[in-house]
Chain A
């Protein structure tokens, strides 16, 4: 029978996962402001514009506003504050 040996685990130390609740959902989007957040990836602006047009055509009671962060891959606090102050929901796209 082959000898057993003990070896080290090569992995680092993961942080504790702390649960977060999802934000309360809206009963309806009618009359609500939905921010369409352009994630700034290549061609995301074209996708977001098509999304805006879809809402205008199919759910005209929803107010959509297109917004962009100041830079790519930056947690733009100013943008988030604006969305929180003026908006009711957000759709972010497109991650690729």
Chain B
């Protein structure tokens, strides 16, 4: 059926690239100016009556021609072609290769270790898996094409990040999650990865002073490797094409830490999620959008928690990272991890009109509410000033880490499970590392 998609003009390159990957390079797109969000009906009417900023012709002329102009040879033929990426690049000097990696945007623009054959071979000693074993497929966001990658490609990027061979199974597990650390969403996401189980100590990962970084070789380079793997095996993270995050995200450089299982008063995170204490796992949280920090629990901790929870962008639920001092203090107040999470969900409330006045709640949650899916339907039925719960207990997670130099905690944007902006449905965010050893 003749169809014309309409997008805002900042997506023109992305639309072109997506159409090409779909075999339809002449797909007939039309564009209106950015933004549409926040514009009145009169302003959007003016867009429709105005000029397509990409075609430089009247917008409706572009739309109507798109539906009625007869097909030409290229429209009928489409585009069919093989693409390949070589295993090895042509030999060159170290300086030239460094420039090549920068020009091609294969780095995060910090210095890299060039992935020579010898270095990659040594990295591959970190796993018994064959180099050509397919690890998975990855893409910048839903509806983009997914690229495939094998163990060797992960090793290559791990070398670039400065990782050591024993870290490779962790990076393989992260990559095998299928969750990209380089989402192309306009919201500038990152991933936060938590390592549990015996491998934390085997690799010397830090769950003490400075656990969130940058004070440990394994934490830093594993997190960085995951980012480089993501951007390179998925076909890029290039602004305007495969990356649209308007602000960018510091967490995207590296965000990987270990839980302080031995000093936490509660069961480890991966045990909460159904894994054995002896399993080594990595859990990928999707977020990094906001960071709130605090101390406590002090006398007014409830008010503090409520302020922080309701100040979140609630389409991205919080991962609460707390120092063992904080966790033990909550135990002294009579909380288990679960009861504290339930308290958070019960007390994080907003007037309904504030909850719904959010672009991603509108985009992602409202259709489910209209379809009668709970708890969203109840939230939609609420009067504008009625207080509604913005999280369920299943939305919120707690991880304990830190050096006990201060009773500090953070609430980090970190969706663990389920649908949300910026990525595919997160069905298996905790991956067992041991099969990748």
Contacts and interface: CB of A to CB of B under 8 A. Distances in A.
Interface string A25-36: 111110000100
A12 B44 contact: no
B24 A40 contact: no
Contact of A10 (B34, B153, B363): B153
B209 interface: no
B7 A94 contact: yes
A23 B3 contact: yes
Contacts of B91: 4-6
Interface of B: 1-8, 11, 15, 20-24, 26-28, 32, 34-41, 44-45, 47-49, 60, 63-64, 67-71, 75-95, 97, 101, 106, 114-117, 120, 138, 142-143, 145-150, 152-153, 156-157, 160, 186, 228, 232-235, 359-360, 362-364, 366-368, 371
A10 B106 contact: yes
A14 B144 CA distance: 12
Top 5 A-B pairs ranked by shortest CB distance?
A19-B78, A12-B233, A93-B6, A95-B7, A42-B359
A44 interface: yes
A41 B36 contact: yes
A5 B115 contact: no
Contact of A24 (B71, B146, B359): B71
A17 B81 contact: yes
A22 B152 contact: no
Contacts of B160: 10
Given A19-B78, A34-B67, A9 B35 contact: no
A12 B39 contact: no
A60 B94 CA distance: 66
A13 B117 contact: no
A13 B80 contact: no
Given A18-B23, A72-B367, A94-B7, 7 more contacts: A3-B93, A15-B83, A16-B82, A17-B79, A24-B2, A89-B3, A93-B32
- DSSP class of A's interface residues: helix, strand, loop or mixed? loop
A70 B372 CA distance: 11
Nearest to B424: A73
B8 to A, nearest CB: 5
A28 to B, nearest CB: 7
Contacts of B364: 72-73
6 contacts: A8-B87, A10-B232, A26-B68, A47-B44, A92-B4, A92-B5
Contacts of A58: 60
A96 B7 contact: yes
A48 B97 CA distance: 49
Contact of A94 (B6, B67, B114, B366): B6
A2 interface: yes
Contacts of A34: 67
Contacts of B93: 2-5
Nearest to A6: B91
Contacts of A12: 85, 138, 147-149, 153, 232-235
A91 interface: yes
Nearest to A21: B76
Contact of A95 (B15, B37, B63, B234): B15
B77 A21 contact: yes
A65 B71 CA distance: 25
B79 A19 contact: yes
B148 to A, nearest CB: 5
B44 to A, nearest CB: 5
Contacts of A18: 23, 78, 80
B1 to A, nearest CB: 5
A54 to B, nearest CB: 5
B85 A13 contact: yes
